[in-house]
Structure 1
Amino acid sequence: MRVSLPLCAGLLGLALPLLTQAGAQSATPHTAAANAAVLQQLDFTDRRAFEAAQRGFIASLPEGVIKDAEGRTAWSTAAYAFLQAEQAPDTVNPSLWRQAQLNSIHGLFRVTDGIYQIRGMDLSNMTIVEGDSGLIIIDPLLTPATARAGLELYRQHRPDKPVLAVIYTHSHADHFAGVKGVTSQAEVDAGKVQIIAPEGFLEHAVSENVIAGNAMLRRASYMYGTRLPIDPHGHVDTGLGKGVSAGPRTLIAPTEVISANGVRRIDGVDIDFYLAPGSEAPAEMMMYFPAQRVFNTAEVTSQHLHNIYTLRGAEIRDASLWSRYIDEVLEFYGERSDILIAQHHWPVWDNAEVRHYLAVQRDLYKYIHDQSVRLMNHGYRPGEIAEQLQLPPSLAGEWSARDYYGTLRHNARAIYQKYLGWYDANPANLNPLPPVESARRTLDYMGGMDALLQRARADFERGEYRWVASVMSQAVFAEPDNQAARELAAAALEQLGYQAESGPWRDVYLSGALELRSGSPAPAELDAGNQDLLQAMSTGMIFDLLAVRLNGPRAAGKQIVLNWQFTDSNEQIRSNLQNATLTWLPDRRAESADASLQLTRATLNDILLRRMSFPQAIQQGLLRIDGDQARLFELLGLLDEFPASFPLIEPLR
Structure 2
Amino acid sequence: MKRSVLHRCCLIALMPLLANAQSLPSPPPGKPATEATKRANAALAKSLDFNDKQDFEDAERGLIARPDTLTIKGEEGNVVWDMEQYKTYIGDNKPAPDTVNPSLWRNAQLNMHYGLYKVSDRIYQVRGYDLSNITFIQGDTGWIVGDPLSNVETAKAAYDLVTEHLGKRPIVALIYSHSHGDHYGGARGIVDEADVKSGKVKVLAPEHFTEEAVSEFVIAGNAMGRRGMYMYGPLLPRTPTGGVNAGLGQAIPLGRASLILPTDSITKSGETRTIDGVKLVFQLTPGTEAPAEMNVFLPQFKAMWMAENATHTLHNLLTLRGAQVRNGLIWAKFLDETIDEYGPQIDTEFASHHWPMWGNQRIVKFLGDQRDLYKYIHDQSVNLMNKGYTGTEIADMIQLPPSLAKAWYSRGYYGTVKHDSRAVYQRYMGFYDGNPSTLDQLPPEPAAKKYVEYMGGSAAVLQKAKADYDKGEYRWVAEAVKQVVFADPNNAEAKNLLADTYEQLGYQAEAGTWRSIYLMGAHELRNGVPKAPALDLTGPDTIAAMPPDQLFSYWGVRMNGPKAAGKDMTLGFDFADLRKQYTLMVRNGALTTESKAAAKPDAQLTMNKAVLDRIQLGQTTIDEAIASGDIKVQGDKGKVKTFFSLLDVYPFWFNIVTP
Smaller-chain TM-score range?
over 0.9
Say yes or no: does 1:604 pair with 2:612. yes
The answer for the alignment partner of 2:90 in structure 1 is 83
The answer for the alignment partner of 1:108 in structure 2 is 116
C-alpha contact (below 8 Å) 1:566/1:601 kept by paired residues: yes
The answer for the alignment partner of 2:630 in structure 1 is 622
C-alpha contact (below 8 Å) 2:140/2:277 kept by paired residues: yes
> How far apart in 2 are the matches of 1:142 and 1:11?
10
> How far apart in 2 are the matches of 1:605 and 1:175?
24
2:10 partner amino acid: C
Say yes or no: does 1:54 pair with 2:72. no
Say yes or no: does 1:276 pair with 2:285. yes
Deviation at 1:538, TM superposition (A): 0.8
Deviation at 1:527, TM superposition (A): 4.3
Alignment of 1:338-353 (within 5 A): 338-353=347-362
Q: Identify which of 59, 67, 77 aligns with 2:73.
A: 67
Q: Identify which of 102, 106, 111 aligns with 1:94.
A: 102
Deviation at 1:528, TM superposition (A): 8.2
> How far apart in 2 are the matches of 1:263 and 1:156?
31
Distance change >3 Å, CA 321–CA 524, structure 1 → 2? farther
Q: Identify which of 320, 345, 354 aligns with 2:329.
A: 320
Deviation at 1:23, TM superposition (A): 6.2
The answer for the alignment partner of 1:481 in structure 2 is 490
> How far apart in 2 are the matches of 1:63 and 1:4?
37
Alignment of 1:171-182 (within 5 A): 171-182=179-190
Q: Identify which of 400, 410, 416 aligns with 1:407.
A: 416
The answer for the alignment partner of 1:32 in structure 2 is 38
The answer for the alignment partner of 2:510 in structure 1 is 501
The answer for the alignment partner of 2:384 in structure 1 is 375
Q: Identify which of 361, 370, 385 aligns with 1:361.
A: 370
Alignment of 1:435-474 (within 5 A): 435-474=444-483
Say yes or no: does 1:511 pair with 2:520. yes
Alignment of 1:78-157 (within 5 A): 78-81=84-87, 82-84=89-91, 85-157=93-165
> How far apart in 2 are the matches of 1:116 and 1:500?
33
C-alpha contact (below 8 Å) 1:528/1:609 kept by paired residues: no
Q: Which runs of 5+ in 1 are unaligned?
A: none
Distance change >3 Å, CA 2–CA 481, structure 1 → 2? farther
The answer for the alignment partner of 2:18 in structure 1 is 15
> How far apart in 1 are the matches of 2:376 and 2:537?
44
Say yes or no: does 1:288 pair with 2:297. yes
1:173 partner amino acid: G
> How far apart in 1 are the matches of 2:552 and 2:109?
45
* SS at structure 2 position matched to 1:395: helix
* SS at structure 1 position matched to 2:431: coil
The answer for the alignment partner of 2:529 in structure 1 is 520
Deviation at 1:14, TM superposition (A): 4.0
The answer for the alignment partner of 2:541 in structure 1 is 532
Q: Deviations over 1:592-616 (max 9, x none)?
A: x111111111111111111111121
> How far apart in 1 are the matches of 2:599 and 2:300?
59
Deviation at 1:236, TM superposition (A): 0.4
Deviation at 1:529, TM superposition (A): 5.7
C-alpha contact (below 8 Å) 2:6/2:616 kept by paired residues: no
* SS at structure 1 position matched to 2:300: coil
Deviation beyond 6 Å, 4+ runs, structure 1: none
* SS at structure 2 position matched to 1:164: strand
Q: Deviations over 1:426-466 (max 9, x none)?
A: 00000011110000110101111111111111111111111
Say yes or no: does 1:5 pair with 2:7. yes
The answer for the alignment partner of 2:225 in structure 1 is 217
* SS at structure 2 position matched to 1:345: coil
> How far apart in 1 are the matches of 2:28 and 2:121?
49
C-alpha contact (below 8 Å) 1:372/1:385 kept by paired residues: yes
The answer for the alignment partner of 1:335 in structure 2 is 344
C-alpha contact (below 8 Å) 1:15/1:247 kept by paired residues: no
> How far apart in 2 are the matches of 1:70 and 1:22?
28
C-alpha contact (below 8 Å) 1:197/1:254 kept by paired residues: yes
Say yes or no: does 1:394 pair with 2:403. yes
Number of residue pairs the alignment of both structures matches: 650
> How far apart in 1 are the matches of 2:238 and 2:57?
26
Q: Which runs of 5+ in 2 are unaligned?
A: none
Deviation at 1:374, TM superposition (A): 0.5
Q: Deviations over 1:240-278 (max 9, x none)?
A: 111100022110111000001222101110011111001
> How far apart in 2 are the matches of 1:228 and 1:173?
23
2:335 partner amino acid: I
> How far apart in 2 are the matches of 1:150 and 1:219?
30
Deviation at 1:196, TM superposition (A): 0.6
Q: Deviations over 1:280-334 (max 9, x none)?
A: 1000000111111100110010101000111011111110110111111112211
Deviation at 1:112, TM superposition (A): 1.2
Q: Deviations over 1:520-549 (max 9, x none)?
A: 123455548611000011100111111111
> How far apart in 2 are the matches of 1:443 and 1:527?
39
> How far apart in 1 are the matches of 2:28 and 2:94?
27
The answer for the alignment partner of 1:242 in structure 2 is 250
Deviation at 1:33, TM superposition (A): 1.1
The answer to which of 347-356 and 167-176 deviates more is 347-356
2:5 partner amino acid: V
1:112 partner amino acid: S
2:33 partner amino acid: A
> How far apart in 2 are the matches of 1:264 and 1:525?
45
> How far apart in 2 are the matches of 1:321 and 1:61?
41
TM-score by length of 2: 0.97
Alignment of 1:157-196 (within 5 A): 157-196=165-204
Identical pairs, percent: 46
Q: Deviations over 1:8-33 (max 9, x none)?
A: 34634342675533362110011011
C-alpha contact (below 8 Å) 2:151/2:256 kept by paired residues: yes
